[in-house]
Amino acid sequence: MKALLLQMFTWWNGQTWGTRFHTWRHGTRVGEDADGNVYYEGGTDSEGRTRRWVIYSGYSEASAIPPGWHGWMHHRTDVSPAAENYVPRPWEKAHIANMTGTGRAYRPKGSILNQGARPHVTGDYDAWTPKS
């Protein structure tokens, strides 16, 4: 019951009512990734291509789609990772959630939000001052 209420009143958690209806009416399940996101296709878009969408297992975060599924979602390939036995390349990194707006956000040296001291200015830079 709690999951149903979350889906009724939040668009960022799982699927909306419109997505649920469209999936029920036109969707064909294509596969699922390791994180539990489920991928569907069905119907056509304005360009005549098959529509493809994902129903997230938790919060809706587009960066949570793995590289193989990303290519399929954007019509870069017609074969889904579920059909081709996709294996990630050794150089591919695992997904890291977007931490923007949290205490774990990336803050480079020199950022006013960085807790460390700002790097000292070297001799190759002169700060502008009025009437100098």
Q: How many domains does the chain have?
A: 1
Domain encompassing residue 36: 18-84
Q: What is the pLDDT of residues 56-86, one digit of tens each?
A: 887 777 888 888 888 998 999 888 888 887 7
From edge to edge, which strands make up the β-sheet containing 38-44? 28-32, 38-44, 50-55
Listed as ranges, residues in the chain with pLDDT below 50 are none
Phi-psi region for residue 14, left (φ > 0), alpha (ψ -120 to 50) or beta?
A: left
Inside any domain, residue 76: yes
Inside any domain, residue 126: no
The pTM assigned to this predicted structure is 0.61
CA distances from 53 to 77, 124, 125 (A): 15, 52, 51
Inside any domain, residue 103: no
Inside any domain, residue 93: no
Inside any domain, residue 130: no
Inside any domain, residue 74: yes
> What share of the chain in percent tops pLDDT 70?
72
Inside any domain, residue 51: yes
Inside any domain, residue 71: yes
Q: Return the pLDDT at 10.
A: 56
